[in-house]
Amino acid sequence: MASLSPPSIATLPFRLKFRQLVLLDALGESQSLRKAAAQTHLTQPAATRAMAELESAFGVQLFDRSHAGMTPTVYGHALIKHARRVLFDVQQAHADIQALRSGAQGQVRIGSLLPPAAGLLPLAIAEVKRQFPLLRISLEQLPQKPLVERVREGSLDIALCRQITPKADANGLDQTVLFDEDYVLVAGPDHRFAGARTLKLGDLIDEPWVMPHASGLLHAHVHALFLIHAGRLPANTIESSTPLVANLMLVERHGFLNFMQKTIAQDYAARGQLCVLPIALSNPLGPHVIAVRDDGALPPATAIVLRALREVAERMGLPAEEELALG
């Protein structure tokens, strides 16, 4: 492709068209000009012309063309990310205007790592909805990395996740610690050790265990604890990264032991589905945080939800138990 002239920041806003950003988003997703043109209701020649104008406006080549399709260059990837942020902001502006017209209070999109927020979120949302019944809230469950990226690009307003490290990964985000909780050991309500006042990990080495999956950070931490406090690993184990309900069933009905986050465990213990044994485990995964975009004042609806989350987290503060340590 021929060398392009450097763009002028003074003239750039006048050269950009909103449809170009819509096309860029579609092309980044499909990497096919034909599909992107159809998706944005453009003819293929018009789509080709729009992309040429966009590349001219920024003075860089955004895509590598081949018979297999169009692959974003490093410049293309950067501009696609910014284009999606603009599109999400316009969608949010539309939602806010419609909310004002209908008498509602706006929309808040929340992404969460579950089960860490399983107890916190319902309480906070219930409080918000009692005060603002027309405020619209959407919830998504995502792993940490896409959760953080979705907040950064603007398709989520709030992420409830683990503390974002290293520092470079937190660029563009404002994160506030909600709470830091330990893990506790749980068993079924009819387990032979249910109700025990004192226990050592070595007492439980021959019990069946649901262990953290090798793909998670908790795996090495729990293994080290067994080696330090019991001298060996349990033999009768299942390694699990499955949803909470599967682990809960193994514990409640089939005699397995499992380390579970404290607030989750106490909630199920209150329902009589399991019991908390007198062994706790320090948290190696970092505190739970609220992450939002660090780009100015928060929309009122987002600020309302954040305030509720902080207030509920403060009320959920629980006394610490004696912890197992690695040292």
Supply φ then ψ for residue 315, to 5 degrees. -70, -25
Tell me the whole-structure pTM to 2 decimals: 0.55
What are the structural domains, with CATH classification, of the chain?
1-103 (1.10.10.10), 105-180+286-315 (3.40.190.10), 183-284 (3.40.190.10)
* Distance between CA atoms of residues 194 and 69, nearest Å: 62
Region label for 144, one of left (φ > 0), alpha (ψ between -120 and 50) or beta (otherwise): alpha
In our burial notation (b when 16+ CB lie closer than 10 A, e otherwise), range 29-41 reads ebeebeebbebbe
Residue 176 is encoded by which pair of tokens? 């506030």
160, 290 in Cβ contact below 8 A?
A: yes
Q: How many CB atoms lie within 10 A of CB 83?
A: 22
pLDDT tens for the chain, residues 1 to 327: 555 666 677 778 888 899 999 999 999 999 999 999 999 999 999 999 999 999 998 989 999 999 888 999 999 999 999 999 999 888 888 877 776 555 456 789 999 986 555 678 888 999 999 988 888 899 998 888 888 899 988 899 999 988 877 777 788 899 888 877 788 999 999 999 998 989 999 999 999 999 988 877 788 888 888 998 889 999 999 998 776 788 899 999 999 999 988 878 888 999 999 999 999 887 777 788 889 998 877 888 888 899 999 888 888 663 323 334 443
C-alpha dihedral (88, 93, 98, 104), degrees to nearest 10: 100
Helix count and strand count (H, E) for the chain: 11, 13
